[in-house]
Structure 1
Amino acid sequence: MTGRFSCAALDYSSTLTRPGSPVDPGLGMRRITPAAIEVIHELHEAGMILVLASNTRHGQDRREALRRAGVLEWFTATLQSATLGVAKPDPLFYRFVLAAADVAPSRVLFVGDNMTKDVLGPLEHGMRAALITPDATPLPPGAETIPDITHLPNLIRTWR
């Protein structure tokens, strides 16, 4: 499946969770959806490097959500802004992503739901981007839209 891409850098919020779903009190955040777990599994099985790239609040740890979903061990790195001391769209955050991926920037597909943080920032650093949105949003070259995370494996297979 990997073809053009060796690494998927995944945002957390509406990328791996269902927007509007309740916050799990034990996690302090929304749970990862079963569909996202399936996609993460498929990407892992295909040999992709997985990096979590998420803005977080102080004391929030996305690793627990990944652990509960049974996918934590498949991530090469979990980059969280509260831990790093720098958040998207700061250029340093994207340099951390590239260091964790340890591949050429053009081999990294950054996936998220925010135009500035998950598309424009990664593109400025040579990565490609997939914006999760139900709308046909015009995007700059090097970016594509998908309606939800379940469309990610097909995008990775067909991206030229």
Structure 2
Amino acid sequence: MSIEEKWVIFDYGGTLALPSPRVTCNNLGAYFSRVLPPQQREQFLHILQRSWEGADERGRALGLDVSLCTILHDVLRELNIPFVGTQHVVDSFLRQLGDGEVTPAAAAAVREIKSQGYKIGLASNTLRSSKVRIESLQRAAIADEFSAVIISSEIGFRKPHPVFFEILLRRIGAIPEQVVFVGDTWHKDVLAPIESGMRAVWIAEGNKADPVSVRHSVPLISDISQLPSLLAQMSMAVSASRDVQY
């Protein structure tokens, strides 16, 4: 891979899209238990609650993540219920629940950034599968712009865990210096990528300079529509720096 290859990796909710409806133990249990015999539903919901809380505790304490299928398989295994076709049921549940809609401004920015020569990726903390998330990008007519989609529940780690970003870099075949990470959450989308050696852009509502962002020299924008011009400026600054070194 050429050192000149450049990547922009986006967070999803709050960055490219409106916030997504929350996946909860209750709405998953209500949907899935409908396909079970009535006599097993109460026990299923009880075990699901226990499994869900355990997964959530590990996520908060260790930065680990699991897929909805993994949670359901653990529950069904305890109930001695076959779990063939679970992924199909999970994806159906997620489609019914819905996903955050990509904003028109974000779609336009993605297309313009791609035209500047960047490769585009998505890196998201979510229980939604990559298949369902890609369908959301397809509805915005930008799925073809993305060369990589990294989902926390599919790789087993969530932002800001360092391993999340190690896997991200391996998946896209890039070194940290080739990547600009764009997101709206300071510790997950800005500080963690910087600590992994990447550059970052913080989408912060109000565009007010924050002491933390100033200390880290983090570019800050108030709206994603400002990103293409900012990236152009950052690229020129990097080129100028290389010219000075030579």
Per the normalisation by structure 2, the TM-score is: 0.58
Deviation at 1:13, TM superposition (A): 0.7
Change (3 A) 1:144 1:81: same
User: SS at 1:86's partner residue?
Assistant: coil
Q: Deviations 1:73-110 (Å, cap 9, x if unpaired)? A: 21111001111121101111111221233233122110
Change (3 A) 1:28 1:45: same
Give the corresponding residue for 1:36. 106
Does residue 104 (structure 1) correspond to residue 175 (structure 2)? The answer is yes
Counterpart of 2:152, as a letter, is S
Contact 2:105-2:225 within 8 A present in 1 as well? yes
Q: Deviations 1:54-79 (Å, cap 9, x if unpaired)? A: 00025573211111111112111100
Query: Which stretches in structure 1 are left out of the alignment for 5+ residues?
Result: none
Equivalent position to 2:141, from 65, 70, 73: 70
Larger mean CA deviation between 134-143 and 110-119 belongs to: 134-143
Number of aligned pairs?
156
Give the corresponding residue for 2:115. 45
Change (3 A) 1:152 1:100: farther
After the TM superposition, list the runs of 4 or more consecutive aligned residues in structure 1 that deviate by more than 4 angstroms: none
Larger radius of gyration: 2
Change (3 A) 1:91 1:64: same
Equivalent position to 1:155, from 206, 211, 230: 230
Larger mean CA deviation between 31-40 and 137-146 belongs to: 137-146
Contact 2:125-2:153 within 8 A present in 1 as well? yes
User: SS at 1:79's partner residue?
Assistant: strand
Contact 2:21-2:98 within 8 A present in 1 as well? no
Query: Which stretches in structure 2 are left out of the alignment for 5+ residues?
Result: 23-94, 238-246
Contact 2:21-2:97 within 8 A present in 1 as well? no
Matches of 1:89 and 1:45 in 2, distance apart? 29
Matches of 2:171 and 2:105 in 1, distance apart? 25
Contact 1:51-1:97 within 8 A present in 2 as well? no
Task: Give the fraction of aligned pairs with identical amino acids, expressed as a percent.
Answer: 38
Matches of 1:44 and 1:145 in 2, distance apart? 20
Matches of 2:225 and 2:197 in 1, distance apart? 24
Greater helix fraction, Structure 1 or Structure 2: 2
Change (3 A) 1:67 1:115: same
Matches of 1:103 and 1:59 in 2, distance apart? 23
Contact 2:12-2:124 within 8 A present in 1 as well? yes
Contact 2:15-2:183 within 8 A present in 1 as well? yes
Aligned positions of 1:139-154 closer than 5 A: 139=213, 140-154=215-229
Contact 2:209-2:220 within 8 A present in 1 as well? yes
Aligned positions of 1:51-130 closer than 5 A: 51-58=121-128, 61-130=132-201
Counterpart of 1:136, as a letter, is A
Equivalent position to 1:137, from 179, 186, 210: 210
Per the normalisation by structure 1, the TM-score is: 0.86
